[in-house]
Structure 1
Amino acid sequence: MKCFILQSFRFVCSVIVALFLLSVPAAAQELQVRININSQQVQGTDKSVFDNLKQTLEQFMNERQWTDLQFQENERIDCSFNISVTKYDASNNRFTCTAMIQANRPVYNSAYTTTLYSNRDKNFDFDFVQFDQLNFNEEVIDNQLVALMGYYAFLIIGIDLDSFSPMGGTDVLQRCMNLVNNAQDLGFTGWKSFEDSRNRFAIVNDYLDEALKPFRQLQYDYYRMGLDEMASNVERGRGNVTTALANCLKKAHDNKPLSLLPQIWTDYKKDELANIYKGKGTQKEKESVYDILFGINASQNNSWEKIKQ
Structure 2
Amino acid sequence: MKNMKFLRIFISLLLLSTLANAQELNFTVIINSDRARTMETNVFQDMKTNFEQFLNGRSWTTDQFSPNERIKGNMLLTIGDMTQAGSYNATVQIQSIRPVFGTNYETMVLNFIDRNWTFEYIASQPIEFNRFSFLNNISSLLSYYAYIALGFDYDSFSLRGGDPYFEIANNIVNNAQSSNRPGWTPSNNDRRNRHALITDVYTSSVMSPIRESIYLYHRKGLDLLLTKPDEAYKNIIAALKLIGEANQIQPNSILTIAFMDAKSEEISNILRTAPMEVRTEAVALLLKIDPTNAKRYNDILKG
TM-score normalised according to structure 2 size: 0.91
Distance 1:53 1:285, change over 3 A: same
What one-letter code is carried by the residue in structure 2 that aligns with 1:100? Q
- Partner Cα separation in structure 1 for residue 31 and residue 163 of structure 2: 31
After TM superposition, the structure 1 stretch with the greater mean CA deviation from structure 2, 67-76 or 173-182, is 67-76
- Partner Cα separation in structure 1 for residue 19 and residue 226 of structure 2: 28
Return the offset for 1:20: 7.6
Find the counterpart in structure 1 of residue 266 from structure 2.
272
Do the aligned partners of 1:212 and 1:255 also contact (CA within 8 Å) in 2?
no
Find the counterpart in structure 1 of residue 217 from structure 2.
222
Distance 1:180 1:289, change over 3 A: same
Count of equivalent residues = 300
Find the counterpart in structure 1 of residue 136 from structure 2.
143
Find the counterpart in structure 1 of residue 229 from structure 2.
234
The within-5 A match list for 1:27-42 is 27-42=21-36
Distance 1:21 1:61, change over 3 A: closer
Distance 1:49 1:14, change over 3 A: closer
Do the aligned partners of 1:263 and 1:296 also contact (CA within 8 Å) in 2?
no
In the alignment, does 2:145 pair up with 1:152?
yes
Return the offset for 1:256: 2.8
- Partner Cα separation in structure 1 for residue 159 and residue 258 of structure 2: 20
Do the aligned partners of 1:25 and 1:72 also contact (CA within 8 Å) in 2?
no
Return the offset for 1:133: 0.7
The within-5 A match list for 1:1-309 is 7=1, 10=4, 27-91=21-85, 93-195=86-188, 196-208=190-202, 209-246=204-241, 248-257=242-251, 259-282=253-276, 284-309=277-302
Return the offset for 1:210: 1.8
- Partner Cα separation in structure 1 for residue 148 and residue 9 of structure 2: 42
Return the offset for 1:33: 1.0
- Partner Cα separation in structure 2 for residue 257 and residue 89 of structure 1: 36
What one-letter code is carried by the residue in structure 2 that aligns with 1:206? D
- Partner Cα separation in structure 2 for residue 180 and residue 34 of structure 1: 24
RMSD of aligned Cα (Å) = 2.3
What SS does the aligned partner of 1:225 have? coil
Return the offset for 1:232: 2.1
After superposition, the C-alpha distances for 1:125-180 in whole angstroms (9 at most, x for unaligned) are 21111121101111111201111101100101011111111001111101100100
Distance 1:291 1:62, change over 3 A: same
Structure 2 unaligned spans of 5+: none
Return the offset for 1:197: 2.6
Return the offset for 1:285: 2.2
- Partner Cα separation in structure 2 for residue 230 and residue 285 of structure 1: 14
- Partner Cα separation in structure 1 for residue 55 and residue 2 of structure 2: 43
Q: Percent identity?
A: 30
Q: Which one has a bigger Cα radius of gyration?
A: 1
After TM superposition, the structure 1 stretch with the greater mean CA deviation from structure 2, 216-225 or 267-276, is 267-276
Distance 1:160 1:10, change over 3 A: same
What one-letter code is carried by the residue in structure 2 that aligns with 1:214? P
Structure 1 residue runs of 4 or more that deviate by more than 4 Å after TM superposition: 11-26
After superposition, the C-alpha distances for 1:46-92 in whole angstroms (9 at most, x for unaligned) are 1111111111101111101112222221111111111111112443x
Structure 1 unaligned spans of 5+: 1-6
Return the offset for 1:41: 1.7
